[in-house]
């Protein structure tokens, strides 16, 4: 099992999320264990289709119902159960104590409301601020996320802002009520490298200043090395490796983590063809028997095709779902 932070704010135990289509059932997440400590950043990594965003939506109570639901497991936020189907999602958590920044701000922001109104709406709903105070607080939030001319931008509509500016507005909305947990779902994917660096720097500064716990979802292990204390790697709905970011990135244990690192570009690979992972993440309704990664794994044995490996403890507070690599020295990850 994964080593748990001494004071976890978010605890996920055995989370299983099922999607239903007519008479079919697909497991998007299976038996996930994950913890995020207070003031800690955890990177949740994997290709598209691995279950990262579904995990975040389950935490926030935003799974598309009735098509999807939590079939098993527990989600606790500061000791409060979030996944009890009988009680429903508890009030006062989503938007107030836990907030989420979505991947594409243009589809997340309301196109017919000025951005200042969208921030003020959150403040009025959760904190009961009168209109004047909410508008002034919205201006201060835009200044905090370093949007130029914040007083003027209150009246701007989302389509008038650049991608980086819209993402700053999304961060301002997420931070409006001073949450304890921020879930960032690939917030820099659609941005150019310069703006990406600015947003990452901003999130890091806000995390330190506000002592935020951050669950950062990404497919980029190189990015995780810059922002996270711990990393959790998902594949086909399961956790396949977890541990301190520095250790996982320097000497990855699972073949999937190794393949992700090998595919990263870098100065030491200049002039060389980048490695690629053959195949694709299997559809939740067509996952292979045994280890889900075995069709793409260069180390797969006959037993990998028959037996699904458990998540096992490894030295240094790490966990890995691969018995094959237990006796094979892990190669060092790419140098920065």
> Phi-psi bin for 50: left (phi > 0), alpha (psi -120 to 50), beta?
alpha
Q: What are phi and psi of 294, to 5 degrees?
A: -60, -30
Please tell me the CATH code under which domain 8-97+179-326 is placed: 3.40.50.300
Report how far residue 34's alpha carbon sits from residue 13's, in angstroms, rounded to the nearest whole number: 7
Question: What residues have CB less than 8 Å from 332, skipping those under 6 apart?
Answer: 250, 251
Q: What are phi and psi of 224, to 5 degrees?
A: -60, -35
In the chain, where are the structural domains located?
Answer: 8-97+179-326, 109-178
User: Alpha helices, DSSP H only, in the chain?
Assistant: 52-60, 105-108, 115-127, 131-144, 150-153, 163-175, 193-210, 221-227, 245-250, 255-262
Residues 83/17, Cβ–Cβ less than 8 Å: no
pLDDT digits (tens, 9 = 90+) for 60-99: 999 998 899 999 999 999 999 999 878 889 999 999 999 9
Q: Rounded to two decimals, what is the model's pTM?
A: 0.90
181-185 and 213-218 strand pairing: parallel
Report how far residue 336's alpha carbon sits from residue 334's, in angstroms, rounded to the nearest whole number: 6
Report how far residue 202's alpha carbon sits from residue 196's, in angstroms, rounded to the nearest whole number: 10
Report how far residue 254's alpha carbon sits from residue 270's, in angstroms, rounded to the nearest whole number: 26
pLDDT digits (tens, 9 = 90+) for 304-327: 999 999 999 888 889 999 988 755
Residue 206, preceding peptide bond in cis (omega within 30° of 0): no
Q: What is the pLDDT along the chain (336 residues), one digit of tens a residue?
A: 444 445 699 999 999 999 998 888 999 999 999 999 999 999 999 999 999 999 999 999 999 988 999 999 999 999 999 998 788 899 999 999 999 998 888 889 999 999 999 999 999 999 999 999 999 999 999 999 989 999 999 999 999 999 889 999 999 999 999 999 999 998 887 677 888 888 888 888 888 888 899 999 998 888 888 889 999 999 999 999 999 999 999 999 999 999 999 888 777 777 778 788 999 999 988 899 999 999 999 999 999 999 999 999 888 889 999 988 755 444 555 443
Q: Which of 172, 139, 92 is nearest to 131 (CA)?
A: 139
Report how far residue 301's alpha carbon sits from residue 299's, in angstroms, rounded to the nearest whole number: 7
The sign of the dihedral angle between the CA atoms of 126, 127, 128, 131 is: negative
| Dihedral angle, C-alpha 281, 284, 287, 292, nearest 10 ° | 50
């Amino acid at each position: 099992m994964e080593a748990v932070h001494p004071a976890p704010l978010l605890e996920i135990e055995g989370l299983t999320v099922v999607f239903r289509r007519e008479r079919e059932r697909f497991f998007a997440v299976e038996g996930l264990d994950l913890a995020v400590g207070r003031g800690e950043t955890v990177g949740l990594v994997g290709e598209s289709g691995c279950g990262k965003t579904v995990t975040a939506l389950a935490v926030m109570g935003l799974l598309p119902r009735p098509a999807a639901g939590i079939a098993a497991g527990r989600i606790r936020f500061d000791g409060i159960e979030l996944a009890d189907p009988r009680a429903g999602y508890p009030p006062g958590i989503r938007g107030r104590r836990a907030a989420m920044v979505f991947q594409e701000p243009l589809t997340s922001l309301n196109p017919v409301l000025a951005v200042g109104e969208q921030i003020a709406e959150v403040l009025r709903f959760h904190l009961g601020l009168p209109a004047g105070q909410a508008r002034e607080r919205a201006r201060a939030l835009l200044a905090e996320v370093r949007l130029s001319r914040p007083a003027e931008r209150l009246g701007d509509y989302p389509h008038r802002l650049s991608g980086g500016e819209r993402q700053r507005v999304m961060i301002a909305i997420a931070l409006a009520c001073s949450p304890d947990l921020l879930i960032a779902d690939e917030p820099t994917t659609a941005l150019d490298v310069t703006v990406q660096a600015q947003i990452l720097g901003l999130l890091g500064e806000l995390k330190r200043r506000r002592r935020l716990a951050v669950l950062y979802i990404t497919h980029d292990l190189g990015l995780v090395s810059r922002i996270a204390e711990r990393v959790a790697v998902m594949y086909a709905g399961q956790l396949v490796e977890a541990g301190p970011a520095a250790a996982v990135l320097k000497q990855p244990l699972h073949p999937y983590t190794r393949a992700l690192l090998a595919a990263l570009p870098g100065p030491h690979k200049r002039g060389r063809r980048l490695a690629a992972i053959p195949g694709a993440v299997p559809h939740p309704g067509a996952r292979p028997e045994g280890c889900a990664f075995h069709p793409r794994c260069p180390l797969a044995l006959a037993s990998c095709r028959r037996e699904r490996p458990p998540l096992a403890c490894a030295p240094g507070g790490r966990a890995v779902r691969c018995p094959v690599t237990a006796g094979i020295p892990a190669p060092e990850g790419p140098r920065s």
